[in-house]
Amino acid sequence: MIRTHVHPTRDAADASVAAELRVLLRAEPRAVLGFATGNTPIGLYRTLAADRAAGRVSLALASSFNLDEYVGLDPEDPRRFGAWMREQLFRHVDLPLARARFPDVDAVDLDAAARAYEAALASAGGLDWLVLGIGRNGHVGFNEPGSSVDSRTRVVELAETTRADAARTFGGAENVPRRAITMGVATILGAKRIRVLAFGAAKAAIVRACLHEPVSERCPATFLRGHPDVELHLDPESAALASP
Ligand code: GLP
């Protein structure tokens, strides 16, 4: 069962999720956190940055694993999720960069790199808390439609809708990478707590599908319904098509 919260505004949703994270980090300063990229978590990351600036939270002992990373971009490319996370979050908080992990997409053997990422996460004890967005096609991380519930961290081909959604960042869909390394669905479901954010009218249909359509590989976000501690944080626009 997904516990669904419809907040009056995005800011209220971000504040609520950030407040939970402050409590968690106070109780478990060494928490292992899972981070997502995309437009959706930007407000949450701003809130965490403000919390850090005000001394309300510390990530000094925490560590993190990002969900995914594009394959094929230059290591210095600002569109890499690693660079994006530094800009949006890491440079504003006290999480040591050495403990902010990403799949090694520069490795010669990408399959081995994906397995190593899964193993590193397991040896860190798994994720205590994971923030997720949802792609318009129901992807979580880069688990596109067709991803199985028992999938683990691996190299994936990106769906056309995903590449179209990223086209603006890359100056055209043809420039968007074709592959990525992503945590698998089973990797994601292994997190102790999953907090999903979805905002705006463009996410209303996929939120409805995630909550009410049959659980299936056609919409990987539906697999979240099998998790014991998952919350969906919405604004009124993204909640518009979901039944109460
Ligand atoms: C991206 C990421 C996902 C993200 C999703 C939605 O491609 N791999 O982790 O949740 O698409 O993106 P946005 O938040 O910009 O709508």
- For 216-242, the pLDDT digits (tens) are 999 999 999 999 999 999 999 999 999
- Based on the residue annotation, tell me whether 144 is a catalytic residue of this protein: yes
**Is pLDDT at 19 greater than 80 in this prediction?**
yes
Other residues' Cβ atoms within 10 Å of the Cβ of residue 136: 14
Nearest CA to ligand 1 atom 6: 135
Please state, in angstroms and rounded to a whole number, the distance separating the CA atoms of residues 88 and 242.
30
Quick: pLDDT tens for 153-204.
Answer: 999 999 999 999 999 999 999 999 999 999 999 999 999 999 999 999 999 9
Give me the pLDDT at residue 229, please.
98
Q: Say what the pTM is.
A: 0.97
Residues 86-90 have a mean pLDDT of: 98
Is 231 a residue of the active site? no
**177 CA from centroid of ligand 1 (Å):** 14
| 139 has catalytic annotation | yes
Q: Alpha-carbon distance 19 to 127, whole Å?
A: 18
The CA distance from 7 to 16, in Å, is: 9
Percentage, residues of the chain above pLDDT 70: 100
In this predicted structure, what is the pLDDT of residue 243? 85
Please list, in sequence order, all residues whose beta carbon lies within 8 angstroms of the beta carbon of residue 36, skipping any fewer than 6 positions away: 66, 67, 130, 131, 132, 133, 141
| 8 Å CB contact between 174 and 199 | no
Q: Residue 244: is its pLDDT beyond 80?
A: no
Residue located via tokens 């969900």: 67
Q: What is the mean pLDDT of residues 9-24?
A: 98
User: Could you confirm whether 160 is annotated as catalytic?
Assistant: no
Residue 213 is predicted with a pLDDT of 97
39-55 average pLDDT score: 98
DSSP reduced 3-state for 232 = strand
**Atom 9 in ligand 1: residue holding the nearest Cα:** 141
State yes or no: pLDDT of 151 exceeds 80: yes
pLDDT value, residue 63: 98
130: pLDDT strictly greater than 90:
yes
Decide if pLDDT at 8 tops 90: yes
**Closest Cα to atom 12 of ligand 1:** 38
Ramachandran region, residue 93 (left: φ > 0; alpha: ψ -120 to 50; beta: rest): beta
Residue type, 20: E
Q: Once rounded to an integer, what is the mean pLDDT over residues 49-58?
A: 98
User: With contact defined as beta carbons under 8 Å apart, do 139 and 145 qualify?
Assistant: yes
For residue 220, give both structure tokens. 């990987």
* Average pLDDT of the chain, as a whole number: 97
**Cα–Cα distance for residue pair 37/86, rounded to 1 Å:** 11
